[in-house]
Amino acid sequence: MGSVTTSKHANGLEYVDINTPLCKARVFMQGAQIDYFEPVGQKPLLWVSSADDYQPGNGIRGGIPVCWPWFGMSDNPDFPQHGFARTRIWSLESVKMRNQIVDLKFTLKISEEDKQYWPHDTSVELLFTLSDTLSVSLVNTNNCDYEVSLTQALHTYFPINDIHQLTASGFSGAKYIEFAKGPFPQEGDSVDFTRETDRVYTNLGECQELHTPDGIIEVRRENSQSAVLWNPWIEKSQRLSRFNSDDYLTMVCLEAANVLEDKVTLAPNESHTLTTHIRWKA
Ligand code: BG6
């Protein structure tokens, strides 16, 4: 059947270990951040920097950090980049096993201190469905009697073996903003990597693929018309925290998002679910 157990990392962070006939995975309570997912008989689908030492208070440099309730910089420059959810301790509300599939549900209670960042009465959940595919859903519900808007991303780090041999496809018809310029129309369907890439795509179709020497990773999104494609390349790698200077060679981020004109606006009592599905296609 499989097992779901909780343990503590040497540096103090608590995590959930999932071990089933379909996959092995690990999810930390801090940030409800998954840092490991390996479908049985296949290679791991998530990348983590070997420079990360899993210190409490730091988001892990890899896996899937949750950017919430804003992506990138807030309008207030003193607020943390990518929101605060990725460094807060989430609660594991439920664990369900059906056949060989595991469902986990995490919730984040907004602390009094964090109300300076997010004074709205909303609820936020992160759901994992772990089989030979990884599905992650970020669910927001507005409990206020007024409209609330937010931006967000599931900031997935993928292992890609060699950035020079990576082709990302599925981008035709989209447009992107990069380094505060644009929007530019996407030319062709695919993107190759020869320099720093930091594109915020909108009007994007629901499925992209990462063609790597190890196989094709398929990335699907639901309730999302936007995504971020990021590789820091040589110079920015020197400046990033918990990141080796040559890490840019073996990772890429393709982030399921709701940003720019695709931001989420919730009427009172309304909910929204951003989902990403990740698997080895071949
Ligand atoms: C990406 C952004 O999503 O996240 C990049 O597009 C940013 O500009 C990167 O550098 C990493 O951010 P952080 O806060 O985790 O270092």
At 1 the pLDDT is 77
Q: 125: CA distance to ligand 1 center in Å?
A: 22
Model confidence at 247, in pLDDT bands (50, 70, 90)? very high
C-alpha 53 chain-centroid distance: 19
Closest residue by CA, ligand 1 atom 15: 61
Contact predicate 130/104, CB 8 Å: yes
Is the pLDDT confidence value at 76 over 90?
yes
The mean pLDDT value of the chain amounts to 97
Q: Which residue has the higher pLDDT, 99 or 19?
A: 19
Higher confidence at residue 1 or residue 172? 172
Please, are residues 265 and 149 in contact by the beta-carbon 8 Å criterion? yes
For the segment 27-38, the average pLDDT, to the nearest whole number, is 98
Handedness of CA 204, 208, 210, 211 (dihedral sign): negative
Q: Is 214 part of any domain? A: no
Structure tokens of 140?
């927001």
Helix residue ranges per DSSP H, the chain: 233-239
- Is the full-model pTM beyond 0.95? yes
Domain extent at residue 19: 3-158+232-250+262-280
What's the total number of domains in the chain? Answer: 1
Cα dihedral sign for 19, 157, 208, 215? Answer: negative
Phi, psi of 50 (to 5 degrees): -70, -10
Asked whether the predicted pLDDT for residue 282 surpasses 80, the reply is: no
The verdict on residue 145 lying in a domain is yes
- Residue 191 domain flag: no
Does residue 154 sit within a domain? yes
So what's the pLDDT on residue 232? Answer: 98
Retrieve residue 118's tokens.
Answer: 């997010």
> What pairing do the DSSP bridges indicate for beta strands 14-19 and 3-8?
antiparallel
- 97: pLDDT strictly greater than 90: yes
Distance from residue 122's CA to the centre of ligand 1 (Å): 25
73 lines ligand 1 (CB under 6 A): no
Q: Identify the DSSP state of 137.
A: E
Is there a domain that residue 114 lies in?
Answer: yes
Return the pLDDT at 215.
97
Whether the CB of 14 sits within 6 Å of ligand 1: no
Single-letter amino acid code for the residue at 200: V
> Is residue 61 lining ligand 1, measured as CB closer than 6 Å?
no
Residue 30 located in a structural domain? yes
Spacing, Cα 25 to ligand 1 middle (Å): 24
Question: Does residue 163 lie within any of the structural domains?
Answer: no
Longest pairwise C-alpha distance within the chain: 51
For the cut 90, the answer to whether the pLDDT of residue 17 exceeds it is: yes
Q: What is the pLDDT of residue 78?
A: 96
Residue type, 263: K
pLDDT at 169 over 80: yes
- Residue in the structure block whose two tokens are 């097992």: 3
Model confidence at 174, pLDDT cuts 50, 70, 90, reads: very high
Residue 121 forms part of a structural domain: yes
What CATH number did the domain enclosing 25 receive?
A: 2.70.98.10
